[in-house]
Every structure is written in C-alpha cells, then in structure tokens.
C-alpha cells in the first residue's frame, strides 16, 4: 500500500476564538496524494513547537552542524501576547513556510512528524463549543494577496475603432497623416492634444510664448488655470492665451469674437504677476526703540489718546507710583488734572475690607488668619 503524504498546503486565513479564552488559529487546506482535501485549524505556538522538533530530528538540514547545509525554512518565534494585527501580518510568512516545507526532500516532507502536524483531528471536524456571548470571527485571505504575480494573466484589451472622415496631414513628428476612410484604433484618450483654432492674433511678450495669427490650428498640450495654455504649432511649443482659442468642430466663432471684444488683453500669467507697491520687494529697515516709542505716541495722539508728554527726568520720577500718590498734595496740578486734585489716569488703591466682611465672605483659612490677628 502506498504511503500517504501531504502534496500541498494552502493558507485560507485565520479565526478568532473566545472559548475558553481569546486565541487565534490558522485555517489550512491540506491536499494529500490520494486527492483528498481536509480543512484543519492550527495555532502558531503549535506550529513553532513542530518546527523546533523538526530541527532536532534533522540537525544537518537545520544547519546546526554547518549553516551552509541548512534547507529547513526559518520560522520566527511567537510573541508573548498575540493580537489580531500580528496574526494577520504573520500570514504571508506562514504560507511561505508551509510551501517550502512540502517542497523539501521526501525524507523530511513525508516524515511522520510532518504528517502528524497536518493530519485531521476530531477538533478539526467538530470545532469546540463557542463562547456563550461572543461568536467566532473568521478572516479570509484575499485572492490578490495569495495570487502569485508571475502566474497572473490579464484579460484581453479591446480597443475602440474609429473611421477617419477627413484628410489630415501631420504638422509635427508626434502626429500621423490620415486619409478619408482609414480605420484607426484608439489606445488612449486624453483631454490634452486637442486641436484649437486661434480667434485673434497674439505677439509673444516673453521667450516661452508663441506668436500666432488669426485662424491658425494648434494643438493644446496642457491647460493651466491662469488662462495660459501650453500649445504646439509644428515644432514650436509655448504659452498662448486661452481666450483667443476655440475647439475645432464647434460653432463658437461668433461667441469667441464677442469674448475677444469684451477683453482685448489676455490675463496676466502667474509667473509675470508683479506688484509695484509690494513691501516684500523692499528691504525691511530696522528702527531704534526711541523711534518706535515716538511713532507709538504719535499714533495715540492722532487717535485721541493722551497728549505727548515728555518723560520726567527729576528725582521724583525715580519714586514708585504709590509714593507719588501719597505726595499728590505737594505735586503741582497739570492742565489735565481733575477738579478733585487727583491725577487723571493714576491708579486708585481700593480700601481694605473690614474684618466683619472678611469673616462673612472669605474662606476658612482667611478667617483663621483674621482671628489670630484679633487675638494677638
């Protein structure tokens, strides 16, 4: 009787289970040489334990004696705490490991250890009971990730066919000459490359612009938002105002003429817009602190603020504002002083609250301090 061995292993995805505790198991479709296919569930710690046992059984192929002789694939160790992200990221590594494992020499790929790992168990056919409140969640690998790029074959490309209704002679090396009745296939449609006709002559004002006469047919290469398009006429390419153009095959000659009459000059280009009064073109002058104060006082005076008063240089200026307030009776009254003898704009010190008011409205700590002062 022929020995049964694993012929192919395919990773389908993983399942998140909640009973008896939260853990993750991978879904593997195992194909045997007798053409049978079985779906099994294996956790990553169990697969890694199998990997260590396989290296102990085949030390030469594992590279324990000589690293150059290693043919057993590498498998990273599991993490202390697996989550959904790590389980999903490990799928490609596990799929490559299973594929390399099956392609090893028969003494390894058909060994009893490999067959016992992929053999169907009762819990594979009858999964354990689910959590009473949470259902198991299944995550399937998409076909795009499992598909090999070398084996991917695209479908046929169907091109649209058009018939030429008028003769056309090429005006540059990027064009072709066509005649009436020719059948062509469109490979790519692009809004650029359309043919336009000039409605007004324009003389180039810069080196990167084109000079064209009225009624010339040109090709639009790129449409810019500032109203200047990149066009091509024969072998020459440059900018041209879009307000002087209309698309061929459209009856917009009269409309275009009306637009030209409304505005005779094209709009300014973004690269040529200049502001003669802009402050950015001038160097910023550094001013001194005194100049800044004088300008500030002048601004306040113009806005109706306090008059421009010279700074005091007397000894009285060195005193604090509170001392000035206490000596207000000895100071001469100025023109801007109030009738009551108080200086205009001087700070007013509020009266201290009475102990009764403090005991009534302040916090407990403040009350204690007031009580201590009274007792002392």
DSSP 4-58: P-EEEEEEEEEEEE-SSS-EEEEEEEEEETTS-EEEEEE-HHHHHHHHHHHHHH-
The percent of residues above 70 in pLDDT, for the chain, comes to: 68
- Residue 252 and residue 141: Cα distance in Å, rounded? 56
Q: What is the pLDDT of residue 113?
A: 94
pLDDT digits (tens, 9 = 90+) for 108-137: 999 999 999 999 999 988 877 777 778 888
d(CA 57, CA 74): 15
Asked whether residue 229 carries a pLDDT value surpassing 90, the answer given is no
Segment 57-76 shows an average pLDDT of 92
Question: How high is the mean pLDDT of the chain?
Answer: 77
Cα angle for residues 223, 225, 226 (degrees, 5° grid): 110
Which of the four pLDDT bands, split at 50, 70 and 90, describes residue 303?
Answer: low
- Tens digits of per-residue pLDDT, 190-212? 655 678 889 889 988 888 888 99
The single-letter DSSP state of residue 198 is E
Q: Radius of gyration (Cα) for the chain, nearest Å?
A: 45
pLDDT in tens, 230-273: 888 888 888 899 888 888 765 554 444 555 455 567 777 765 54
- What is the model's pLDDT at position 285? 57
Among residues 191, 199, 286, 188, the alpha carbon closest in space to that of 241 is found at 199
Helix (H, G, I), strand (E, B) or coil at 245: strand
What is the reported pLDDT for 80?
A: 80
Mean pLDDT check: name the lowest of 81-85, 303-307, 355-359.
303-307
| pTM of this prediction exceeds 0.75 | no
**Helix (H/G/I), strand (E/B), else coil: 241:** strand
Model pLDDT, residue 364? 81
Residue 331 has pLDDT above 90, yes or no: no
Q: DSSP secondary-structure letter at 171?
A: S
pLDDT band at 274 (very low <50, low <70, confident <90, very high): very low
pLDDT score of 213 more than 50: yes
Mean pLDDT within 146-173: 66
Residues 12 and 94: beta-carbon distance below 8 Å: no
* pLDDT number for residue 153: 53
CA distances from 350 to 113, 156, 195, 322, 355 (A): 94, 92, 84, 13, 15
Which of 36-40, 44-48, 114-118, 293-297 is predicted with the least confidence, judged by mean pLDDT? 293-297
Please choose, from the candidates 183, 202, 196, the residue with its C-alpha nearest in 3D space to the C-alpha of residue 245.
196
CA angle 92, 98, 102 (to 5 degrees): 150
Does the pLDDT of residue 329 top 60, yes or no? no
Considering only CA atoms, which of 9, 15, 127, 10 is closest in space to residue 82? Answer: 15
């Amino acid at each position: 009787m022929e020995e049964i061995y694993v012929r192919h292993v395919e990773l389908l995805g993983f399942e998140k289970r909640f009973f008896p505790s939260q853990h993750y198991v991978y879904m593997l479709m195992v194909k045997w040489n007798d053409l049978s296919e079985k779906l099994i569930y294996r956790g990553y710690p169990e697969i890694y334990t199998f990997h260590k046992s396989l290296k102990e059984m085949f030390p030469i192929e594992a590279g324990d004696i000589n690293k150059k002789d290693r043919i057993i694939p590498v498998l990273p160790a599991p993490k202390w705490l697996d989550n959904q992200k790590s389980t999903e990221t490990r799928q490609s590594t596990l799929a490559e490991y299973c594929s390399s494992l099956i392609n090893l020499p028969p003494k390894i790929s058909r060994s009893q250890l490999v067959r016992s790992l992929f053999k169907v168990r009762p819990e594979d056919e009858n999964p354990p009971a689910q959590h009473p409140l949470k259902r198991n969640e299944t995550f399937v690998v998409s076909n795009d990730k499992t598909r090999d790029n070398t084996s991917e074959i695209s479908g046929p490309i169907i091109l649209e066919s058009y018939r030429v209704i008028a003769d056309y002679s090429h005006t540059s090396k990027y064009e072709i000459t066509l005649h009436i009745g020719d059948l062509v296939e469109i490979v790519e449609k692009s809004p650029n490359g359309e043919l336009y006709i000039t409605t007004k002559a324009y003389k180039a004002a810069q080196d990167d612009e084109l000079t064209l006469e009225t009624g010339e047919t040109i090709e639009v290469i790129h449409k810019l938002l500032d109203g200047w398009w990149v066009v091509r006429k024969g072998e020459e390419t440059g900018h041209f105002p879009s307000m002087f153009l209309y698309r061929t095959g459209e009856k917009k000659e009269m409309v275009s003429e009306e637009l030209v009459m409304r505005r005779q000059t094209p709009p300014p280009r973004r690269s040529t817009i200049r502001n003669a009064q802009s402050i950015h073109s001038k160097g910023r002058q550094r001013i001194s602190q005194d100049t800044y104060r004088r300008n500030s006082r002048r601004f306040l005076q113009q806005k109706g603020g306090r008059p421009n008063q010279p700074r005091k240089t007397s000894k009285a200026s060195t005193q604090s504002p509170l001392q000035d307030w206490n000596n207000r009776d000895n100071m001469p009254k100025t023109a801007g002083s109030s009738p009551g003898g108080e200086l205009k704009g001087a700070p007013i010190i509020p009266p201290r609250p009475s102990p009764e008011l403090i005991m009534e409205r302040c916090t407990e700590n403040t009350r204690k301090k007031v009580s201590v002062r009274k007792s002392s």
